[in-house]
Chains A and B, each alone.
Chain A
Amino acid sequence: MTTYYGLYGQKVQYLASDPTDVQVGQVWYNSTSATLKVNQLSTVNAWASGGALGTGRYALSGTGTQTAALGFGGYTGGGIYKNNTELYDGSTWTNSPATLTTARGYIGQAGNQTATLAFGGSTSPAPYGVTNVESFNGTTWTSSPALPAARSSCGSCGTQTAALNFAGFNGPAVYSNVTESWNGSAWTAGGNMNTSRVFLGGAGTNSAALGFGGYLTPAGHTSSSESYNGTSWTSTPSLNTARSRLAGFGATNTAAIAAGGTAAPGNTNSGATELYNGTSWTTNPSSMATARRFVAGNGTQTAGLVFGGHPPASGTTATEEWSGIVAQTKTVTVT
């Protein structure tokens, strides 16, 4: 007779209650409930509500993970840009005493909660872009070498020492396709995107990036998606829903999420969520609970975070947590 021990070289644990520190793949028998249980990876692909931001705003930026995120900058309408920095621990946002030196919105973002680079963005006297770059070490923001040109509303991705900034505004109402790469000490020009656009989503690294969606002039919202290999951009399959002002995140250019934004008709706010697997975009059956634009996003295709956005006109505090694949304990039915 085939036994579990014979197959896997281990015995099934016989326990009175479920263990507290469960590992993926762990199997045990719960003698109290008389059930055989396994902890396995399951596909969830759903949004859950997270802790509210301390300050509602939109056009803010985010880096990090679902359980260790950084939210910074933003806009609350009426020409008021924010320098607030908040830290998320997986359930609660906490105000950091550190604030951006220059309050601004729609800033390029790269890195994680304790090592973030913030580049470009919009300010009250310069809504179409600034060259400012700031670096966050977990406690303070310091100035870093400036962008070669004033930029705002770009796509961005990468780490604090290897970031990418692409497309966006490059002057008053100038839609750009320019790419700039950061190596930790200097910005250098990369290959131009095939389509100039603003308000797009970005994911990946500075040598394997994905830029998707955005707004074209005069065409409006686009579904166009492009992939970057460190040198040049190549067109990839389009989003299912053309949209701009969306959140984009993902660790690579073959595992990204597009969420929220605005779409036709009538610039309707969207909560639609799409997943990219390197070959195609798939619309997730369920959407974000709160449809919104100018929403920040960070994380990976398996564990992401979105927060802030518009409406209301002063910006929302709403946070939602994306779970793609999670470890879940399930009861095994033995026949």
Chain B
Amino acid sequence: MCYWSSLAISWGLIIAILLWVILSLVGYFQGDSILLGMSRAKKIKPDDHPRLYNVVEEIKIASGLEKMPDIYIIDDPALNAFATGRDPNRASVAITSGLLQKLNRDELQGVIGHELAHIKNRDVLLMAMCSVLLGTIVILAWYGSRMALFGAMFGGRRSSSRGGGGGNIIILVVALAFMILAPIFAQLIYLAISRKREYLADASSALYTRYPEGLASALEKLASSTSQLKSANQATAPMYIINPFRKKGLKASDLTSTHPPISERIRILRAMAGASFYNYDQAYRQMHGGKGVIPATSLAAETVPIATARLEAEAGEPNELQRARETSDAMWRLSNYNTITCDCGAKLRVPPNFKEPQIKCPHCGRIHQI
């Protein structure tokens, strides 16, 4: 009888681990399409939003990615962006329309640099592997401590009649503590890794653009917004540029977040003396002391000069109103609306199911052919 029950438990263990691995694999292979589908992201062509497409292509060149990632816009006033895709050849970046109209070119480069760094550093793969490994450890720990618990409880009665129950109580307590603590620690490790990768992506973005101030100022704009992204969920949180679930007034070193606090990320970026990984590491150490945050293998003690702000780019830079128009034009086009600009200055949005051959401008009464 004892034989049968232990057999049943080990089958349960195998099934649990198998299920976990299958779930993680589905998340890994289908995660991008699930994520993009859930957030109702719309894929854009170069003509839909030339500025966004160009900026992604610029950073793609700067990062040395071989293939151009797909670009998506999420129609949401919240400010956020994410990258997804299981390898650099099948990657996508998505940005909310709210963020797109808030950022100027340098800031957009910083944000896209952060996202492409996630792709280049293969963070999707890393976080998927982490969740498989840590999840398996949690299942094993739970199973192991349950065995110990049962052993202590049922085996204990027999041996305590012989007068030796003290050891069993200790095993019982240790097993119980293990069962409770293992998942918590696994979660904390997962979050710590996620935060490390965020720092690395920030450092990479500064290196690609040679202009840490761009990302810093973009993060500042992100920090000042309070609206939450409707379509985000816990599992996909590490891929966003800022934690989509953050609350106001979070403590400076929060162990239970996928992302480091924004204010700290901004301070590190602004403290950089150059644009290299080494400079980022130095800036991080200034703030925290002790160990740095960049993997030692990619650290060479060199300083890369920061680019000066480009004056001629600023001259032709669209302002916030123009960017808002540009983005809303793109969103209408992506919903298959036809846009006619009337001579009086009004823009007519013609829905895709509009069948009439001509349309009258509601503002001045002119007739337009479609």
A associates with B: no
What residues of chain B have their CB less than 8 Å away from a CB belonging to chain A?
none
What residues of chain A have their CB less than 8 Å away from a CB belonging to chain B?
none
